[in-house]
């Protein structure tokens, strides 16, 4: 078996191990799905009537792509917290003693969390249909919208994997990631139009990759006003391309960093 084939096989084995763990700890699925449902209902019915959307678009259709993006990005923190927990419990040392590819633990962890995001998005879509959200494009474009969300979430998982290997405790991972992820998901077009933001925050929101993910998802799901003027800024005018630029940067930087940190950390 070639080294590449061995790496793929080992990675799939670790992915299966992580998914079995989720199956045996159903609380992970329950809380991963309840949180986005709560956000959908809260913003749709509590804040929706107070947030105007230009062009007559319903707030439900404006909101859901933002909720999708926020949820999968927050879901990436599971990668870092899980790796930190495995380090804390000594499980990484056990993996290291096995004849397996060094990258398998990280690839398997990020793939498993991406598959969990598929379930989360499916639950949110069902909830969205209940509260009035609809897809107005073709099936192919809708699938591309989901893939856009998952691809960005996968790249973010590698960022969180690096954080989890550095700090080594799940509590610190959760606190550190919250400090970063919370503002970047709110200083964006996630829940409200950015036209009313102060100039500095508006500029930040226009170039925030989260805004591009949300804008790209809205366009691919058809949740935009037909004939509406283009958003300000190149990033929001070309959201899909801008997202993939960020994905490429995240993967190019944090995949090798995470693998190197894993080897060094597991070797202590």
Q: How does pLDDT run along the chain (268 residues), one tens digit per residue?
A: 566 676 788 888 888 887 887 777 777 777 777 877 888 888 788 777 667 777 778 888 888 999 999 989 988 888 888 888 888 887 777 777 777 777 888 998 899 989 889 988 998 899 888 888 999 999 999 999 999 999 999 999 999 999 988 887 888 888 888 888 889 999 999 988 888 889 999 999 999 999 999 999 999 999 987 766 788 889 999 999 999 999 999 999 999 999 888 887 755 5
DSSP run (H or E) holding 13: helix 3-24
DSSP type of residue 33 = H
- The DSSP result for 113-177, as a single string, is HHHHHHHHHHHHHHHHHHHT----S-HHHHHHHHHHHHHHHHHHHHHHHHHHHHH--HHHHHHHH
| C-alpha of 115 from chain center | 11
Contact at 8 Å (CB) between 161 and 254? yes
């Amino acid at each position: 078996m070639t080294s590449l084939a061995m790496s793929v096989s080992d990675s799939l084995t670790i992915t299966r191990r992580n998914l079995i763990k989720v199956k045996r700890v159903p609380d992970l699925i329950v809380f991963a799905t309840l949180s986005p449902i709560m956000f959908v209902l809260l913003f749709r019915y509590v804040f929706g009537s107070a947030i105007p959307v230009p062009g007559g678009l319903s707030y439900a259709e404006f909101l859901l792509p933002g909720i999708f993006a926020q949820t999968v990005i927050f879901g990436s923190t599971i990668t870092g917290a899980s790796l930190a927990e495995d380090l804390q419990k000594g499980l990484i040392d056990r993996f290291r003693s096995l004849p397996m590819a060094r990258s398998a633990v990280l690839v398997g962890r990020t793939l498993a969390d991406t598959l969990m995001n598929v379930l989360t998005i499916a639950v949110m879509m069902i909830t969205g249909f209940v509260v009035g959200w609809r897809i107005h494009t073709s099936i192919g474009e809708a699938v591309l919208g989901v893939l856009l969300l998952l691809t960005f979430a996968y790249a973010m998982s590698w960022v969180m994997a690096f954080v989890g290997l550095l700090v080594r405790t799940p509590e610190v991972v959760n606190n550190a990631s919250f400090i970063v992820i919370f503002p970047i998901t709110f200083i964006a077009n996630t829940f409200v139009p950015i036209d009313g933001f102060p100039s500095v925050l508006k500029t930040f929101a226009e170039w925030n990759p989260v805004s591009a993910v949300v804008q790209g998802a809205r366009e691919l799901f058809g949740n935009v006003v037909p004939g509406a003027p283009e958003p300000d800024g190149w990033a929001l005018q070309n959201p899909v391309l801008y997202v993939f630029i960020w994905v490429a940067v995240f993967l190019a930087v944090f995949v090798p960093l995470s693998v190197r940190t894993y080897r060094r950390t597991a070797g202590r």
